[in-house]
Amino acid sequence: MALVVQKYGGTSVGSIEKIMNVARRVGKTKDAGNDVIVVVSAMAGETDRLVGLVNSITDLPNEREYDQVVASGEQVSIGLLAIALESLGYRAKSFLGFQVPIYTDSAHARARIRQIETENVMRAINEGYIAVIAGFQGIDEFGDITTLGRGGSDTSAVAIAAAMKADVCEIYTDVDGVYTTDPNICPNARKLEKISYDEMLEMASLGAKVLQIRSVEFAKKYGVRIHVRSSMNEKEGTIVTGEDEIMETAVVSGVTYNKNEAKITIVKVPDRPGIAAKIFKPIADAGINVDMIVQNVSLEGFTDLTFTVPKTDYKKTMLLIEKVAQEIGAERVQGDDKIAKVSIVGVGMRSHPGVAAKMFRTLASENINILMISTSEIKVSCVIEEKYTELAVRVLHDAFELGGEPKEEV
């Protein structure tokens, strides 16, 4: 008998029919003699709707109240799934974050899980219940409801699997597994049988939203094996596991894109020691993650400084930076939220020169202008205009021969 954690994303519980389908699937796992913990997201589109309600009042809501609103979608889906399971003759009990409890820090809208108590859920399991737990949410030390950032149910599931010492963590979604790139953009994307934690970490952090990045961090830290698969069929999906299990490493194993960042440029910054620290301190104090930073060569004592932040923090950052720019005597601040970051990822890149050059050449051949570049040992990222995202992903996927169909010999 195994302890199985199954997570169902929004599209998998998007209607009553789909919830009944999930209930049958969960029931089958229980019938096979397993203990089952199910982690559920809000019904498809619901969290977007709730965020929209908040933003129809203000772009800069009180974050405690934002969490209070957006966490509510999961309350409905866990209750409905528990009722669906009961209707099929199973015993099921739903848990909100605070009922587990799942303790987090107080960084509202981007909280981190600190500790998960196992007692309440394990008691229910031992009494024969299927436990249905709300993803995406937790509770902080003040008793306030927190959320883990968009896509956070993946992280809830992996953290619960680690805490409860589950044998496997299955992530059910609307695609069959992890692909070489988003299969909804690139029809010839190829499904990966296995992917290492490190590569998945890089893909997730660069925009492959099939898994939230923190879920992969947890999985790597606690050695949780993740199986990403479809809730609509029985096909084997993708196993996310340690590098030692993966025999072959491609030079480039995936292409990702991220449309959720915005770019801010401070024009004519006086080039003096301590200026960068002054600029980035208020941003860090506000808990905003800066991604790429580029500083131009100084000209006559002035330089331009460009960086990117999540789009959701764009307005807040602009307000902070306009103030700092005045204080340090910079000329002006420019913002652009119509950008995208496309990246190529691969552990094998470490030992292969020329990969970045090929990426730049490929983008240039389609007349796509590169606005910013950043590289690491296993990835190259370019910021481009948002309207070219899909084209860039497709031509890069082709250029690095990642497609499912073998290339025709000419």
**Which residues lie near ligand ADP (CB under 6 A)?**
9-12, 41, 151, 173-175, 178-179, 181-184, 208-210, 254
Least Å distance, CB 135 to ligand ASP, is: 5
Binding mask 8-47 vs ligand ASP (x if CB under 6 A, - otherwise)? -xx------------------------------xx----x
Cα R_g (the chain), whole angstroms: 23
* Residue 313 binding result from ligand ASP, Mg ion, ligand ADP, none, given CB thresholds of 5 to 8 Å by partner type: none
Report how far residue 267's alpha carbon sits from residue 321's, in angstroms, rounded to the nearest whole number: 11
Least Å distance, CB 178 to Mg ion, is: 12
Helix (H, G, I), strand (E, B) or coil at 381: strand
Report how far residue 120's alpha carbon sits from residue 95's, in angstroms, rounded to the nearest whole number: 9
Torsion sign (Cα): 217, 222, 223, 225:
negative
Complex with ligand ADP: residue 210 or 288, whichever CB lies closer: 210
Task: Evaluate whether 271 touches 348 at the Cβ level (below 8 Å).
Answer: no
Beta partners for residue 37, in sequence order: 5, 131
Report how far residue 326's alpha carbon sits from residue 336's, in angstroms, rounded to the nearest whole number: 20
Complex with Mg ion: residue 213 or 266, whichever CB lies closer: 213
Helix (H, G, I), strand (E, B) or coil at 40: strand
* Residue 150 binding result from ligand ADP, Mg ion, ligand ASP, none, given CB thresholds of 5 to 8 Å by partner type: ligand ASP
Smallest Cα–Cα separation from 45: which of 79, 10, 9, 76? 10
Regarding 150 and contact with ligand ASP (CB under 6 A), the answer is yes
Binding mask 119-138 vs ligand ASP (x if CB under 6 A, - otherwise)? ----------------xx--
Regarding 73 and contact with ligand ASP (CB under 6 A), the answer is yes
* Residue 181 binding result from ligand ASP, Mg ion, ligand ADP, none, given CB thresholds of 5 to 8 Å by partner type: ligand ADP
* Residue 179 binding result from ligand ADP, ligand ASP, Mg ion, none, given CB thresholds of 5 to 8 Å by partner type: ligand ADP
Regarding 151 and contact with ligand ASP (CB under 6 A), the answer is yes
Regarding 173 and contact with ligand ASP (CB under 6 A), the answer is no
Report how far residue 381's alpha carbon sits from residue 373's, in angstroms, rounded to the nearest whole number: 6
Two structure tokens written together for 340: 């995208």
| Subset of residues 42 to 61 that bind ligand ASP, contact rule: CB under 6 A | 42, 47
Report how far residue 256's alpha carbon sits from residue 189's, in angstroms, rounded to the nearest whole number: 12
| Subset of residues 347 to 366 that bind ligand ASP, contact rule: CB under 6 A | none
DSSP 113-151: EEEE--HHHHHHHHTTPEEEEESSEEE-TTS-EEE--TT
Least Å distance, CB 154 to ligand ADP, is: 7
* Residue 155 binding result from Mg ion, ligand ASP, ligand ADP, none, given CB thresholds of 5 to 8 Å by partner type: none
Task: Evaluate whether 134 touches 40 at the Cβ level (below 8 Å).
Answer: yes
Complex with ligand ADP: residue 181 or 308, whichever CB lies closer: 181
How many other C-beta atoms lie within 10 A of the C-beta of residue 319? 12
Least Å distance, CB 27 to ligand ADP, is: 20
Regarding 135 and contact with Mg ion (CB under 5 A), the answer is no
Angstrom distances, CA of residue 64 to CA of 10, 140, 143, 395: 23, 11, 11, 43
Least Å distance, CB 254 to ligand ASP, is: 21
* Residue 312 binding result from ligand ADP, ligand ASP, Mg ion, none, given CB thresholds of 5 to 8 Å by partner type: none
* Residue 237 binding result from ligand ASP, ligand ADP, Mg ion, none, given CB thresholds of 5 to 8 Å by partner type: none
How far, rounded to the nearest angstrom, does the alpha carbon of residue 96 sit from its chain's CA centroid? 21
Report how far residue 146's alpha carbon sits from residue 97's, in angstroms, rounded to the nearest whole number: 9
* Binding footprint of ligand ASP, residue count (CB under 6 A): 13
Question: Segment contacting Mg ion (CB under 5 A): 6-14, 229-237, 250-258, 366-374?
Answer: 6-14
| Subset of residues 7 to 36 that bind Mg ion, contact rule: CB under 5 A | 9
Two structure tokens written together for 342: 């496309």
Two structure tokens written together for 128: 């024969």
* Residue 138 binding result from ligand ASP, ligand ADP, Mg ion, none, given CB thresholds of 5 to 8 Å by partner type: none
Q: Which of 151, 177, 207, 237 binds Mg ion (CB under 5 A)?
A: 151
Smallest Cα–Cα separation from 158: which of 58, 228, 80, 100? 228
Q: Interface residues with Mg ion (CB under 5 A)?
A: 9, 151
> Given the rule CB under 6 A, which residues bind ligand ASP?
9-10, 41-42, 47, 73, 135-136, 150-154
